[in-house]
Amino acid sequence: MSREFTIIGAGVAGLCVATELVSRGAKVALHDTQGLPGPASCSWWAGGMLAPFCEGEAAPEAVVRLGRAAAGWWQGHGVPVTHNGTLVIALGRDRQELDRFARRTKDHSRLDAPAIAALEPDLGERFSTALFYAGEAHLAPREALSVLAARLAQNGVAINTDAAPPSASHIDCRGLAARDSLRDLRGVKGEMLILRCPQIDLKRPVRLLHPRIPIYLVPRGDGVYMLGATQIESNDRNRATVRSVLELLSAAYALHPAFGEAEILEVGVDARPAFPDNVPRVIRQGGVVHANGLFRHGFLLAPALAGMVADHVLNGARPELFHEYHP
Ligand SMILES: Cc1cc2nc3c(=O)[nH]c(=O)nc-3n(C[C@H](O)[C@H](O)[C@H](O)COP(=O)(O)OP(=O)(O)OC[C@H]3O[C@@H](n4cnc5c(N)ncnc54)[C@H](O)[C@@H]3O)c2cc1C
């Protein structure tokens, strides 16, 4: 089998596939017309939660199982990962949401108000019960992308911004842009904000459950938080709506009124690439191998997906998430 590969797309999927192949001794050429990962890639807007157990509330078992290895993979490739777990809470009137979430997920413990206060002093007096997922972690996506890109550059793999030469055999990691060749790929729009709120010091991702507008806050340090995220069936990657921003901010304000004083640093929007079952796929379509469909699990599942791409292109394996499409 060839050990030289052209990868198109340098979002989290392309960078993880390139990293995995290089670490197994292959030669890689990486093309992204936008250059280093930035606002044009969906990966730029992610929360960076490595939360397989919480995701199990709505995702299939494979997402939980494959996602458990993510934190170790990122750390093994030089990316800082914070292992502070995840706190899941609900306002009094939504207590049944917490019970439902607990029933549908594993590896959590129930906390009372003093235990919440011990973990997150700013929330302890506001919530009487919570779920704590001690085994979960988070990272800063933009830092993670730039660490992978820098390490690849050290290994002689720069991101080439010229359009890749036409080729019948390459690895396609173009995210939602690959809808031109993957007909069952769709977009799931996500809107998010970056807030600065130094009055509050959260140490871990906090998810606030709500029947219609669940939100999460991921600490980025220095009082900066990523507030996410809507989940809307739409391919729109450009416009955040007033309704979405209002709802996200209202929910943050309900979590803690100090968010009323927060500065809005960014409003972000993109559409997550997803297949009908919301599970990513390695797809062989003629000479092209696609790594796509990471949905809301880009940083959680790209390491596992990259490993499967490498197993397939280097060893001819047909791994768990492998599919064959006929061109
Ligand atoms: C608001 C929001 C919050 C999220 N939160 C999380 C989270 O907490 N945890 C998590 O794991 N995931 C999260 N995700 C999901 C994650 O962001 C996506 O699953 C992931 O970014 C998809 O990565 P990708 O590499 O497939 O696509 P992209 O990141 O979009 O990368 C595709 C790349 O291909 C390039 N490209 C396109 N066409 C061409 C071409 N013709 N030639 C060359 N290059 C091309 C683009 O420039 C782009 O850089 C979130 C997503 C959103 C929107």
d(CA 243, CA 249): 10
d(CA 312, CA 327): 18
User: pTM here?
Assistant: 0.97
pLDDT at 92: 84
> How buried is residue 40: exposed, middle or buried, by Cβ count under 10 Å (0-12/13-18/19+)?
middle
pLDDT at 327: 75
d(CA 166, CA 168): 7
Closest atom, ligand 1, to C-alpha of 9: 34
Task: Give 318's Cβ-side CA count (13 Å radius).
Answer: 3
Tens of pLDDT, residue by residue over 191-222, are 999 999 999 999 999 999 988 889 999 999 99
d(CA 75, CA 151): 13
3-state helix vs strand vs coil in the chain, percent to 5 = 35, 25, 40
pLDDT at 191: 98
d(CA 100, CA 140): 29
d(CA 310, CA 149): 18
Tens of pLDDT, residue by residue over 256-287, are 999 999 999 999 999 999 999 999 999 999 99
pLDDT at 65: 98
pLDDT at 1: 60
Task: Give 317's Cβ-side CA count (13 Å radius).
Answer: 12
In the chain, residues under CATH classification 3.30.9.10 are 86-134+186-274
pLDDT at 80: 98
The CA dihedral of 28, 31, 35, 39, to the nearest 10 degrees, is -110
pLDDT at 93: 84
Please give the distance, rounded to the nearest whole angstrom, from the Cα atom of residue 131 to the centre of ligand 1: 29
Please give the distance, rounded to the nearest whole angstrom, from the Cα atom of residue 295 to the centre of ligand 1: 9
> How buried is residue 25: exposed, middle or buried, by Cβ count under 10 Å (0-12/13-18/19+)?
exposed
Tens of pLDDT, residue by residue over 156-186, are 999 999 887 777 789 999 999 999 999 999 9
Please give the distance, rounded to the nearest whole angstrom, from the Cα atom of residue 121 to the centre of ligand 1: 34
Which residue has its alpha carbon closest to ligand 1 atom 51? 46
Helix axes 141-154, 298-315, angle to 10 degrees: 30
In this structure, the number of other CB atoms found within 10 A of the CB of residue 307 comes to: 19
- CATH number for domain 86-134+186-274, candidates 3.30.800.10, 3.30.9.10, 3.30.830.10, 3.40.50.300: 3.30.9.10
Residues of the chain with pLDDT under 50: none
Residue 198 in tokens: 């130094």
Please give the distance, rounded to the nearest whole angstrom, from the Cα atom of residue 12 to the centre of ligand 1: 6
pLDDT at 108: 98
Q: Hey, what CATH class is 4-67+139-182+276-325 in?
A: alpha beta
Q: Measured on CA atoms in the order 290, 237, 245, 48, is the torsion positive or negative?
A: positive
Task: Give 251's Cβ-side CA count (13 Å radius).
Answer: 26
In the chain, residues under CATH classification 3.50.50.60 are 4-67+139-182+276-325
Closest atom, ligand 1, to C-alpha of 268: 1
